[in-house]
Amino acid sequence: MPQLIIRAERFPIAGRFTIARGSKTEAAVVVAELHDGPHVGRGECVPYPRYGESVEATVATLEALVDAVAAGLDRAALQEKLPPGAARNALDCALWDLEAKQSGRRAFELAGLPEPRPAVTAYTISLDTPKAMAEAARLADRPLLKLKLGAPGDAERLAAIRAAVPASELIVDANEGWRAEDLPAHFAACAAAGVTLIEQPLPAGADAALSEIARPVPVCADESVHGRDSLAGLVGRYDAINVKLDKTGGLTEALALAREARAAGLDIMVGCMVATSLAMAPALLVAGLARIVDLDGPLLLARDREPSLRYEGSVVHPPQPELWG
């Protein structure tokens, strides 16, 4: 039976990654490896303090499952064993990868999905001054940019960035940083800048105002959605959801959430934390169900793991089996 090995790893970020809640200079990840004879299945997660997670607690949670894994814990049982979150994500994705290696079939085949295709990913511009963000956007020269906002001066940031990159599609992520009374002004600025989508403008649990105001730009839930049990409260407030494997607790729930959300009339964005190609690879299976792909984590790192995903500009290619799946 499989042996579970857990490792905490750190990867430096190229420069500094800044959102409304703060900045960081490295990506702290946890890797779950399942060893079964000649086969090794791997999964990577990013413990997120916003959700009360830490590297140490995630490692401890996974270490407590070593015996259960050795006794044959499968994906279905894992969904009952752990709640949605980073720890379940790492192990769930490792189980998918191990099954693919053992069966000689690709993970997308096991999931009953068509073969993943290359996708255009958003590229994130960290929160900064209007001038700095506009210059970063110009230098990035990407077709799809995700702008981190959520601080005073956001309208000026939007205007400066749009002037710098008139042809780029823009997504805005406020990371819960706006207030309900300021939504009309923020939405108007986004509409004037031709923004495609606004992510999580209000704090999760304090977003009722979204159902009471006109939304000239579609609004996407991020911190307000985790697994399928989050969906009921989103309809009428949001137009889309951001599916992240670290929130859903792995690929298993991510696929189920994406399908159920589409059935409820919500668009899908597939997103990520800042992490390596190992964390992005399983999310590319969700990309086939998504209207917007935001899997630029490795592009924000000073170095990625090897083997890695292949990025050609903003086009990310599906993983090779040596990486995952």
Q: Which residues are catalytic?
A: 148, 244
State which H helix or E strand residue 6 sits in: strand 3-19
Q: State the DSSP string of 9-23.
A: EEEEEEEEEEETTEE
